[in-house]
Amino acid sequence: MNNLELKNRDLDVIWHPCTQMKDHEVLPLIAIKKAHGIYLEDFDGNKYIDGISSWWVNMFGHTNKYINDKIKEQLDTLEHVILAGFTHEQVVRLSERLVKLTPKDLDKCFYSDNGSSAVEVALKMSYHAHLNDGNTNKNVFVSLKNSYHGETIGALSVGDVELYKDTYKPLLLKTIQTSTPKDMSISSAIQAARDFETLCKNKANTISAIILEPLIQGAGYMHMYHPEFLVKIRQICTKYNVHLIADEVMVGFGRTGELFACEVAGISPDFIVLSKGLTGGYLPLSVVLTSNEIYAKFYCDYNEHKAFLHSHSYTGNALACAAANATLDIFENDNIIEKNKLTAQYMGKKLEKFKNLKNVDTIRQTGMICVVALKGYEPEQRIGLKVYQYCLNHGVLLRPLGHIIYFMPPYIINEDEIDKMMDTAYDAINSLLSQS
Ligand SMILES: *Cc1c(COP(=O)(O)O)cnc(C)c1O
């Protein structure tokens, strides 16, 4: 078996995500044979540093021995059981831990199997909680401009990235987009929060919730903002009886420097949505946590018809929960959040150098995510794709968002590997200068 053979068999039968398939007439499709630590290895023996944690999910490397062992143990005990009317040890332990670890007043866990469906769980719960309160008019959701919350129809409705949304507009729910702080300054944060307050003054009686990605809008070109924005939004939500849904699908589990991004701002949302890093990047699992207060609004005699009758077949899958418990063990045992602070500092120092390049507009960083924004290119030039290809040819997987080059490696990356990853990107961006 080699790359080419597998590529041809693949293209006969597989339709890949987020891909114009015709691109693969010229672009390589890389068949990965195995992976270990931060390295992916293809069928021709080439190795690649996984600089984007395999689409933002991997935390502690591929085929991590500890997580592998825990999943194997679970596999011979219980692989899955229906979670309605039944429970199991892994899901109970995981829920107890999440309730402890997340910001205060997030007391109950509701499981699903991917970020988008968990976002929709939170939206439905929010609307339904108001309804159970006798509030029939609160049926509009607010989100931020340039936000991303997934791609199922409900999740896409609260998103605002044209590339994914525009085609499907006729199918989507009506939602309102409010201002995102335009940069990382505190003044932009305050200004954007003011726009939300104005919106609430006029329409709060129809608004169920605001959903946002705390601190970093991931698929929205890694746009970052000041934590003060979250502080202000929390105050406004409380004042106007609007729920705050924190979509920490990407930023959760240490990406921003704290275990959860809401902690950076010292706030508690009414709902927190977690997925990607939850299982260390091993298995699909997502969860929505909310307060006992909201939970209580659904708790009554069956015939009052207030229950949350939402379900997914694989809710609370035991193998996925075992992977999640193993992931949390590593956070605890290896003091990861503290270690990440040093790793982030090192990445930040390396990032400075990019400012010397004439085609670099700005650099920015929040915790374990570093960004280099390029300037002077048209979208048609697909400049990100050129960086992607250059880096692949030099053993590094990065997947720029348009002209935004970003680094989001697994936490176990060491300094030499950071050098290799970021120096390769530097050379890639530098090489663009001599091409034009
Ligand atoms: C990836 C992502 C989602 C969607 O998660 P999926 O598992 O891909 O459905 C939702 N919100 C944010 C912030 C994300 O980054």
Domains in the chain, CATH or no CATH each: 3-63+336-435 (3.90.1150.10), 68-333 (3.40.640.10)
Q: How far is the CA of 207 from the centre of ligand 1 (A)?
A: 23
Above 90 in pLDDT, residue 377?
yes
Pocket of ligand 1 (CB under 6 A): 114-116, 119, 148-150, 213, 218-219, 247, 249-250, 275
Compute the distance between CA of residue 323 and CA of residue 278 in angstroms, rounded to an integer. 8
Interhelix angle 318-333/336-352, nearest 10 degrees: 80
Q: What percentage of residues in the chain have a pLDDT greater than 90? A: 98
Residue 287, judged by CB atoms within 10 A of its CB (0-12, 13-18, 19+), counts as: buried
Other CB atoms within a 10 A radius of the CB of residue 63 amount to: 11
Ligand 1 atom with the shortest distance to the CA of 276: 7
CA 288 – ligand 1 centroid, Å = 13
Q: Whose CA is nearest to atom 6 of ligand 1?
A: 115
| pLDDT band, very low/low/confident/very high, at 222 (cuts 50, 70, 90) | very high
Residue (of 124, 134, 212) closest to 110 by Cα position: 124
Task: Quickly tell me which residue has 């992607």 as its tokens.
Answer: 388
Q: What is the per-residue pLDDT across 154-176, written as a single tens digit (0 to 9) for each?
A: 999 999 999 999 999 999 999 99
Give percent of the chain with pLDDT exceeding 70: 100
* pLDDT tens readout for residues 54-76: 999 999 999 999 999 999 999 99
Testing ligand 1's pocket by substitution, the residue of 116, 222, 314 carrying the most ligand atoms inside 8 A of its CB is: 116
The preferred substitution site among 275, 286, 312, 314 for testing ligand 1, maximizing ligand atoms within 8 Å of CB, is 275
pLDDT, average across residues 249-271: 98
Structure tokens at 26: 């010229």
Closest to 179 (Cα-Cα) out of 170, 167, 188? 188
In this predicted structure, what is the pLDDT of residue 322? 98
Query: Is the pLDDT at 436 greater than 80, yes or no?
Result: no
Summary mean pLDDT of the chain: 97
> Given the DSSP bridges, would you call strands 286-290 and 243-247 parallel, antiparallel or unpaired?
unpaired
- Ligand 1 centroid–CA 115 distance in Å is 4
Ligand 1 centroid vs 359 CA: distance in angstroms?
30
Strands 140-144 and 207-212: parallel
What pLDDT does residue 2 have? 86
The whole-number pLDDT of residue 1 equals 80
Instruction: Give the helix/strand (H/E) hosting 289.
Output: strand 286-290
C-alpha of residue 404 to centroid of ligand 1, in Å: 19
